[in-house]
Structure 1
Amino acid sequence: MPADLAVVGLGHLGLPLARAAVSAGIATVGFDADPRTVAQLAAGHTPAEGALTAAEARRMLSGGFRPTTDPAELGRVRTAVICAPAPLGPDRTPDLTAVGEMARALAARLRPHTTVVLESPVAPGTTEGFLRDVLEDGSGLRAGRDFHLAYSPGRLDPGSRTHALANTPKVIGGLTPACTESAAAFYGRLSEKVVRARGTREAEMVKLLETNFRHVNIALVNEMAILCHDMGVDLWDVIRCAETKPFGFQAFRPGPGVGGHGVPIDPGYLPHTGRAPGHPHPLRMVGLAQEINGRMPQYVIQRCAALLNEHGKSARGARVLLLGVTYKQDLADREASPATEIAGRLADLGAAVSFHDPYVPEWRVRGVPVPRAESLYEAAADADLTVLLQHHRTYDLQGLAVKAQLLLDTRGASPAGAAYRL
């Protein structure tokens, strides 16, 4: 049976979109080139941690969702949304390899009047440049004339019980006004509000602004955390007071580092695209924010070593228990979690590292399995130092503070005076 929608790329972006579409009654097919991903979904499991629960995957299947590796399915839909990953490469530019592969599979079967939308996090100019060229070259069709082309930034809040696709405004920017309207008509079936950008570049820049905004503000508060510790000031109390201001302030909180799938992009590092007029200026603040946030795992290590030393212990040979190794609270996803670097650096110092996380049954760092504590309180009592890296709601921090010999709270979640805070 033909589908109305093809979600191209079944990862952290594609799966929530497919779930929302199926829930809205849209006949949806999911395409991915990886047979393992499709097999997992077909069996009712999730291939991407945190993007979908097994129960949601089963509901999608019962609602008619069809995961497939057959690209022929892409030629039978009215709308195709490309949700391939585009991580930053070593040169700090988005790696468009997966986007290109998905686009070429779609282009070979692209029909006139199809609406194609890109949701992958990319640099401004990618949709009307790179993606447009791949689609036109592979199909022989013209974007804006024979098929609609648009960009819509992903605005997911993984694991959130408050913000879903339906109640989060969807930004749309098309190659032409008709492209924008066609994409807006589709997303209007999923979201309560559609916001029209002037074009694809503006929509792409929305994603850049939102992601960089988060990283820059986290960097600011991370620097404040270090300053306040050195001055003997309780930053958490400062934030508590500051966020009572009803205007001009938004509270961000420090942590052991920044994880997740939204990586900051500095246009100054982006290659010149064929349709781009001039070269963007570098965002110096974004580069500085990356540098500051990238230093936080090492700062956590310094605090760990200092705490152990203050209590007559050396990092070498110390038993260190890490609590919460995912990048986000109450989520199994470990993408870019600072816990990995912290565990590696502790091991380099000669510490015996173990971990506990209710969402992570096993964990490997540098290819070596990290011992998992089965009894949380016994492990905390036995460890020379317990470090809270992620505050999952199941953790009773008051009880842990009583059991632990030393507790370093990098999230400021423990009661005042119950632990050492970042």
Structure 2
Amino acid sequence: MVLSHRYQSQRKLNMSGEDTVGRFRSREAVVGVIGLGYVGLPLCLAIAESGSRVIGFDIDPEKPALLAKGQSYIKHIEAKKIVSANQTGRFQATSDFSRLREADAILICVPTPLTSHLEPDLSFVESTAEVVSANLRKGQLIVLESTTFPGTTHEVLRPILEKGGLRAGVDFFLAFSPEREDPGNPDFSTTRIPKVIGADDPLAREMAVALYDGFIAKTVPVSSAATAEAVKITENIFRAVNIALVNELKVIYKKMGVDVWEVIEAAKTKPFGFMPFYPGPGLGGHCIPIDPFYLTWKAREFGIATRFIELAGEINSNMPGYVVSELAIALDRQQRKGLNGSRILVLGLAYKKNIDDIRESPSLVLIELLEARGATVDFYDPHVPVVPPTREHAKLANRKSVAFGPNINLYDAVLIATDHDDVDYAALVKWAPLIVDTRNACGRRGLTGGHIVSA
């Protein structure tokens, strides 16, 4: 009788999970997305557009209020997409986390930054898990999308969710599916980027695949949550290491009088065995500067030194200092001036072109390094009118972008840190007495002159 009871209980539970799979496939399920930032908001809009109902959750009450009015707070997400989602009645945003009980699936899209000691800061994941646990009900699918080290879903998220007595794989289902957003990339929107999905039990994996199949062009199931976590961190380490390589090559080739940009353009004509990466003033964004250190931290638990990854991090972290040194040399040679007392305009505050995202932007570091050397620094960015508050660069908060115009000739030098497309570089070359270009923005446009220095 005991065996029969256990079999019947498990069969009943599996039928419940299978029913949820059917609800995902038929778009009848309700999806909750926690975190309405650069990852969570596009996800909500994609789900609503697919025909499913979605509830977005954020601790900042201003975000749901703006979304209810059809307004966007992220520049590359058009307001008309929010208006359209609202009009369908399938999208709502709220700060009332008790409504998590309404969701059949809950997708967690919260930040995973580093501490000042370059160790993982999982406080956002942990606090979110506590809120989910308090509102967890049987049959729900929980998916972590935040980038983290292999083992986080099982070792950190699962124990918190199970605090209330419900068990993963029995009462609720747990999976990991890393976000792969590339903000501002018109060629790869949320729905067009293949979605890796990992879970530690087959039914949870089947549920997650059924959910994402509803609005993602291609899903890529893998054997476990840890494997999916490793996939994302591998992707970002690959980029970080290769960017470090070309940054180092840039320094070497400049000493040799060789243009690294010309080298890369010629090298990428090889149809096999080479993939182009490009140097810059340092790494920015929410992934590449951070994620490699998640693995280096976790590797210590197994007694493994990650020398290659850490060296890449060191090279990339040193690039802002290198750029400032190159700017100082250029000022000395062309203007007969030192950095101390010079007026510098940093062009571009966002971490990459054509977006308003300043997370981990090297421009913030550049401004602080220049001011520490005695320079007076302003910035111009057509996408970032005001510096928002940040934890690491609090003193820069609320600074405003200057206007773009002939008065640029009053600066001793312009430092191009971000190569936004909607900048009149021809005018810039005409007005600025000295340009230090870290992105080859001038060279790509055929703009030349003795006052343009590559750095």
CA distance in 1, matches of 2:338, 2:307: 39
What CA RMSD, in Å, does the superposition of the two structures yield over aligned residues? 1.9
CA distance in 2, matches of 1:147, 1:33: 24
- Asked whether 1:296 is paired with 2:325, we answer no
2:423 to 383, 391, 395: 395
Q: TM-score, normalised by structure 2?
A: 0.86
Contact 1:170 1:191 in 2 (8 A): yes
Q: Give matches, 1:45-56, under 5 Å.
A: 45-47=71-73, 49-50=74-75, 52-56=77-81
Partner of 1:105: 131
Contact 2:177 2:195 in 1 (8 A): yes
Instruction: Report the alpha carbon displacement of residue 110 of structure 1 after superposing the two structures with TM.
Output: 1.7
Contact 1:215 1:264 in 2 (8 A): no
Instruction: Report the alpha carbon displacement of residue 280 of structure 1 after superposing the two structures with TM.
Output: 6.0
CA deviations 1:54-98 (Å, max 9, x no partner) are: 333333322331111222211111111111111112232321111
CA distance in 1, matches of 2:387, 2:35: 26
1:309 to 316, 329, 332: 332
Q: Secondary structure at the match of 2:191?
A: coil
Partner of 1:360: 384
- Asked whether 1:72 is paired with 2:98, we answer yes
- Asked whether 1:19 is paired with 2:45, we answer yes
CA distance in 1, matches of 2:351, 2:70: 25
Give the partner amino acid of 1:304. Answer: L
Instruction: Report the alpha carbon displacement of residue 397 of structure 1 after superposing the two structures with TM.
Output: 2.1
Instruction: Report the alpha carbon displacement of residue 268 of structure 1 after superposing the two structures with TM.
Output: 3.5
1:265 to 292, 311, 318: 292
Partner of 1:200: 225
- Asked whether 1:93 is paired with 2:119, we answer yes
- Asked whether 1:186 is paired with 2:211, we answer yes
CA deviations 1:85-115 (Å, max 9, x no partner) are: 1111223232111112221221222222211
- Asked whether 1:407 is paired with 2:431, we answer no
CA distance in 1, matches of 2:378, 2:431: 16
Give the partner amino acid of 2:220. Answer: V
Q: Percent identity?
A: 38
CA distance in 1, matches of 2:152, 2:423: 43
Contact 1:50 1:158 in 2 (8 A): no
CA distance in 2, matches of 1:128, 1:189: 26
Partner of 1:341: 365
CA distance in 2, matches of 1:381, 1:261: 34
Alpha carbons of structure 1 residues 176 and 19: separation in structure 2 relative to 1, 3 Å: same
Instruction: Report the alpha carbon displacement of residue 366 of structure 1 after superposing the two structures with TM.
Output: 4.7
Q: TM-score, normalised by structure 1?
A: 0.93
CA distance in 2, matches of 1:187, 1:221: 36
Mark the structure with the bigger radius of gyration. 2
Alpha carbons of structure 1 residues 371 and 4: separation in structure 2 relative to 1, 3 Å: closer
Give the partner amino acid of 2:401. Answer: R
Q: Secondary structure at the match of 2:291?
A: coil
Give the partner amino acid of 2:263. Answer: V
Query: Mind listing any 5+ residue stretches in structure 2 that lack a counterpart?
Result: 1-27
Moved more, 89-98 or 380-389: 89-98
Instruction: Report the alpha carbon displacement of residue 50 of structure 1 after superposing the two structures with TM.
Output: 4.8
Alpha carbons of structure 1 residues 271 and 220: separation in structure 2 relative to 1, 3 Å: closer
Query: Mind listing any 5+ residue stretches in structure 1 that lack a counterpart?
Result: 273-277
Give the partner amino acid of 1:421. Answer: S
Normalized per residue, the structure richer in helix is 2
Partner of 1:379: 407
Contact 2:299 2:305 in 1 (8 A): no
Contact 2:76 2:355 in 1 (8 A): no
Partner of 2:453: 420
Partner of 2:248: 223
CA distance in 2, matches of 1:253, 1:50: 25
Give the partner amino acid of 1:402. Answer: K
Q: Secondary structure at the match of 1:367?
A: helix
CA distance in 1, matches of 2:210, 2:401: 49
Q: Secondary structure at the match of 2:315?
A: helix
Q: Give matches, 1:32-51, under 5 Å.
A: 32-47=58-73, 49-50=74-75
Contact 2:176 2:198 in 1 (8 A): yes
| Count of residues in Structure 1 that have an aligned counterpart in Structure 2 | 413
- Asked whether 1:162 is paired with 2:187, we answer yes
CA distance in 2, matches of 1:18, 1:401: 42
CA deviations 1:118-170 (Å, max 9, x no partner) are: 001111111111111111113x2111122211000110010110001221110
Partner of 1:241: 266
Instruction: Report the alpha carbon displacement of residue 400 of structure 1 after superposing the two structures with TM.
Output: 1.7
- Asked whether 1:130 is paired with 2:150, we answer no
CA distance in 2, matches of 1:63, 1:405: 54
Contact 1:112 1:141 in 2 (8 A): yes
Contact 2:147 2:291 in 1 (8 A): no
CA distance in 2, matches of 1:237, 1:177: 50
CA distance in 2, matches of 1:341, 1:109: 41
Partner of 2:307: 284
CA distance in 1, matches of 2:284, 2:126: 25
Instruction: Report the alpha carbon displacement of residue 371 of structure 1 after superposing the two structures with TM.
Output: 5.6
Give the partner amino acid of 1:270. Answer: K
Instruction: Report the alpha carbon displacement of residue 383 of structure 1 after superposing the two structures with TM.
Output: 1.4
Alpha carbons of structure 1 residues 206 and 195: separation in structure 2 relative to 1, 3 Å: same
CA deviations 1:359-398 (Å, max 9, x no partner) are: 1112376525546321x23133221111111111112323
